[in-house]
Amino acid sequence: MNPLRAEKLKQLKLELADAEEKILLLEHFNDNSFTAACYNDNTIADLEESTLMRSDETDCKTWNISPHEWLRSIRLALELKSQAQYIANLENEIAILDD
């Protein structure tokens, strides 16, 4: 493997380790939470759009959360979803370079 490719591979593996560590810190919500539902049931685009809207009254009543908690959950789900996508992209780059 040429030195530039080896260095790029090393850099990507370090980035992947950092990203995986960050997502572990973020994944402190339980599977029955509103954050988990947002993460599981929405795309990144959906979540981004939700951050621009007012809190959903139905969600707040259903989940027994405040408008502030609603927005915080949306933002956390968005960060987790984005981080998961970033990790998937890094893994793909590493797989290509590691051949």
**Per-residue pLDDT tens over the stretch 27-79:** 666 667 899 899 999 999 999 999 999 999 999 999 999 999 999 999 999 99
SS (H, E, C) the chain: CCHHHHHHHHHHHHHHHHHHHHHHHHCCCCCCCHHHHHHHHCCHHHHHHHHCCCCCHHHHHHHCCCHHHHHHHHHHHHHHHHHHHHHHHHHHHHHHHCC
- Amino acid at the residue 15: E
Token duo for residue 30: 């339980």
Integer Cα distance of 23 and 33 in angstroms: 17
The pTM score is 0.77
Residue 14 has pLDDT above 80, yes or no: yes
pLDDT of residue 7: 87
Per-domain boundaries in the chain: 3-97
Nearest residue to 22 (alpha-carbon basis) of 82, 68, 70, 89: 82
